[in-house]
Amino acid sequence: MGSWERALDAAGIRGADLRADYGRQRALVARYRREAALAAGLLLPARVLPHLLAATAFMHRTDTLLDSGPVDGRKAAYARWEAEVLDGLVTGRTADPELRPLLHTAAAHPRLRERVPEFLAGATADLDFTGFDSEADYQRYLDAYSLPAFMVVAGLLGPDGDQTAYRAACRTFIDASQRIDFVADLAEDLADGRLTLPAQSLARHGVTRADLAGGGDRPAVRALLTELLDRADCDLVASRAVVDLVPPAHRPMVRTMIGLDGLTSAAARADLPALLRRPAGPAKPAALRLLAREYLRARRVRG
C-alpha cells in the first residue's frame, strides 16, 4: 500500500469512487501548486493531507471561475457555482465529482460549513476588483476576501474548539502574505490590467501607474516598493505567533508557509526594478533548505 492510500485510510475516506475523486484533486493541486503539494505531503499528518488538498482544489476551481473570461460570463458562472456548493453543504450530496471531496471533508471537519459560505459571500470582491484607492480599501479587501479564502484551508490546520485567537493571528499573516504577493506579482497584475497597490501609496511617493507599467528604474518606485515590503515583513514577523496556536503536528507546515513568504520578500528586495518586468519567487536552494529543515522537525514530532 502506497503513502497516498495510507493517507486516505487515515483520513477515513472509504469507497473506490470517493478515493478516486480525492486522487484527482491531489493531481490537480500537484499540477498548479507543485511546491505546496510537495510540502503538504512531506510535512502534514496523513489524516489531514487529503482534506487539505480537497480544500485547496476547491479554492483553485473557485479562483479559476473568478478569473476566466468576460466579467458578465464570470458572474453568471460564479453564481451557479456558489448555489451548487451551498446546496451541497446543506444536503451533503452532489453529482459533481470535483465537489464531492469538499463535501466529504466538510462532514469530517464541520467548521468548513461556516468557512466555505463566508468565503463564497466575499469572493465577488475579487470578481469586481478595480484597485484600491487607499490602505483602508486594501484592509477591507483582506477582510472580505483574502482572510475568508485563507481560512478555508487554514481552518483545517488550526486548533480544535474556539479559533478566535487563531483567526486573528491568521489575519496578521494574510495581511503580510497578500501584500508580498501583490508586490511580487506586480508585473503580471499590470499586464492583466490590475493595479493592486493602493493609489494613496503611489501618490505619497509621486509614482504613477504609467511609471510602473513603463518598467523604468526610478528612485521613487524603489522607495514605494521598499515601503510596502517593509510593512509586510513587520507583519510577517508578528504572524509567527500563529505557530504556537496550531497543534504541534501542524507547526512544520505553518512555519514553512511563513518562511516561503519571507523568501519571496527577500527575492523581491534583491532586484526591485525587475519587479516591473517579471514576478519574484523564493530562491529554490533556500526553499529546499527550509523544507528539509521542517521535514526533520515533522519526523521528530511524529516520533
What does pLDDT average to in each consecutive run of 10 residues of the chain (303 residues)?
91 96 96 90 96 96 85 87 96 95 96 95 85 96 96 96 95 98 96 94 96 91 98 98 97 97 98 96 95 95 78
How confident is the model at residue 232, as a pLDDT?
98
Residues 150 and 103 in one domain: no
Amino acid at position 147, single letter: L
C-alpha cell at 167: 483567526
* Separation between Cα atoms, residue 235 and residue 169, nearest integer Å: 10
Number of domains in the chain: 2
Does residue 116 lie in a domain region? no
Does residue 67 lie in a domain region? yes
How confident is the model at residue 1, as a pLDDT?
60
Domain that holds residue 88: 1-110
Write the CA distances from 191 to 96, 101, 123, 164, integer angstroms. Answer: 34, 35, 22, 38
How confident is the model at residue 210, as a pLDDT?
94
Count CA atoms closer than 13 A to 299's CA, side-chain side: 7
Does residue 253 lie in a domain region? yes
Q: Are 86 and 102 in contact (CB under 8 A)?
A: no
Provide the 10 A C-beta neighbour count for residue 177. Answer: 23
Residues 152 and 298 in one domain: yes
C-alpha cell at 303: 516520533
Q: Are 118 and 112 in contact (CB under 8 A)?
A: no
Write the CA distances from 32 to 26, 56, 189, 295, integer angstroms. Answer: 10, 11, 18, 22
* Separation between Cα atoms, residue 171 and residue 157, nearest integer Å: 15
Q: Output the domain CATH number for residue 184.
A: 1.10.600.10
DSSP 8-state code for residue 98? T
Residues 47 and 175 in one domain: no
Does residue 29 lie in a domain region? yes
Residues 139 and 185 in one domain: yes
142 Cβ partners below 8 Å, 6+ apart?
Answer: 171, 174, 175, 178
Three-state SS sequence of 194-252: CCCCCHHHHHHHCCCHHHHHHCCCCHHHHHHHHHHHHHHHHHHHHHHHHHHHCCHHHHH
Count CA atoms closer than 13 A to 25's CA, side-chain side: 31
pTM of the full predicted structure?
A: 0.93
* Separation between Cα atoms, residue 212 and residue 228, nearest integer Å: 14
Q: Are 283 and 267 in contact (CB under 8 A)?
A: yes
Q: Are 169 and 104 in contact (CB under 8 A)?
A: no
Provide the 10 A C-beta neighbour count for residue 219. Answer: 9
Residues 156 and 287 in one domain: yes
